[in-house]
């Protein structure tokens, strides 16, 4: 079963007037992972698609998505799939790939229908593409690791870069995930914005009663959204994106836009935040 929701782009002036329900309706993505279903959110932020697939004993095939306007989703798109569950397989382009938890699979434009099987919980990210780069299965040992933050500021973390220029080529997708040292709860702090690229976060590995307070909005007009396990946030290019958890968690970050330069950001000083 395939379900697709469309999210239109929101400008910062409009977002200033949103209450909690409106913020969640436009930027929060919950219920992405349902047993036996593929659930997608087609956003108008650089046409990024964010979604989940949970085979749950029966293979699921992702092929035509009407919102893409093509016969098959990857006719003019690339895709990254992150397994956040148990062992599973993803098949496309005549190849089958076994994904353990934490593995990332890149699929190029033209790879055809995508089949999900096994016990995996597959997080799906897709953006328009202009070239067919080789498919690649990237395991945690192949990722580039960047260590940032400190215990003193509660943001000691390791950024694992998978679909990234230092690891492999892609058209515009940049994907990885961040893991924290014990006791650290702040992600992406100090905050930043990058007007040339949108971003999406998926928070997972949270305890059932844990929450992340995700911060968004213009630096001097911040808002927050409360997120539980396996829920995502779409972040407009004009918005900061950071958060703090009540316990341990991991988050997957993904970007699309004008470039794949991870360093193309505008830092936000603490004195700018309101």
Annotated ligand binding at 194? The verdict is yes
Is residue 199 a known part of a binding site? Answer: yes
Contact between 50 and 43 under an 8 Å Cβ cutoff? The reply is yes
Q: Is 131 annotated as a binding residue?
A: no
SS3 120: coil
Q: Where are the alpha helices (DSSP H) in the chain?
A: 12-15, 20-27
The neighbour count for residue 171, using CB atoms within 10 Å, is 17
> Is residue 214 a known part of a binding site?
no
Closest C-alpha among 42, 58, 45, 61 to residue 236: 45
Instruction: Provide the annotated binding site for Zn(2+).
Output: 192, 194, 199, 241
Which residue positions form the known binding site?
Answer: 192, 194, 199, 241
């Amino acid at each position: 079963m395939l379900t697709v929701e469309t999210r239109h782009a929101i400008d910062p002036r409009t977002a200033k007037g949103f209450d909690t329900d409106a913020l969640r309706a436009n930027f929060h993505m919950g219920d992405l992972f349902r047993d036996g279903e593929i659930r997608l959110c087609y956003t108008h932020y650089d046409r990024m698609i964010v979604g989940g697939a949970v085979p749950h004993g029966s293979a699921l095939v992702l092929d035509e998505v009407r919102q893409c306007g093509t016969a098959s989703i990857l006719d003019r798109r690339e895709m990254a799939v992150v397994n956040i569950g148990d062992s599973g397989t993803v098949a496309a382009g005549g190849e089958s790939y076994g994904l353990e938890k934490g593995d990332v699979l890149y699929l190029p434009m033209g790879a055809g229908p995508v089949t999900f099987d096994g016990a995996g919980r597959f997080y799906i990210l897709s953006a328009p593409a202009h070239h067919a780069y080789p498919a690649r299965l990237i395991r945690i040992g192949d990722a580039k690791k960047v260590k940032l933050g400190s215990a003193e500021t509660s943001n000691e973390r390791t950024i694992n870069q998978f679909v990234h220029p230092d690891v492999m080529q892609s058209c515009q997708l940049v994907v990885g995930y961040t893991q924290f040292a014990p006791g650290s709860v702040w992600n992406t702090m100090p905050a930043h914005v990058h007007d040339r690229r949108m971003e999406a976060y998926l928070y997972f590995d949270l305890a059932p009663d844990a929450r992340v307070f995700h911060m968004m909005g213009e630096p001097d007009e911040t808002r927050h959204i409360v997120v539980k396990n396996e829920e995502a946030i779409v972040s407009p290019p004009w918005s900061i994106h950071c958060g703090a958890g009540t316990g341990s968690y991991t988050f997957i970050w993904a970007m699309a836009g004008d470039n794949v330069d991870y360093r193309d950001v505008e830092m936000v000083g603490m004195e700018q935040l309101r």
